[in-house]
Amino acid sequence: MKHLIKLIPVVAMVSLVGCSNMTQSEQSILSGAAIGTVGGAAIGAISGHAGEGALIGAGVGALGGAIYDSSQRGYDNY
């Protein structure tokens, strides 16, 4: 649980730094990855694998952000 508490501010800081120079697609992917990281770490902490959950959540969140951005723009790439 201590690792999860340390991870939350880092994820929040990374998600806010440098977003002004990003495209809308990059912002969607980063937001998805940040949300996925926090969610994955929380779920992983329950089973004792917060780090692995955070990595899996980041990947799934980034993919979800890309799919969301694609659907908002009307692309059918996914």
The per-residue pLDDT for range 7-61, each reduced to its tens digit, is 777 766 766 666 668 888 888 888 899 899 999 999 999 988 888 999 999 999 9
Would you tell me the crossing angle of helices 24-47 and 2-16 to the nearest 10 degrees? 180
> For residue 4, what are the contacts with CB-CB under 8 A and spacing of at least 6?
41, 42, 45, 50
- pTM greater than 0.85: no
- pLDDT for residue 78 is more than 70: no
- pLDDT for residue 1 is more than 70: no
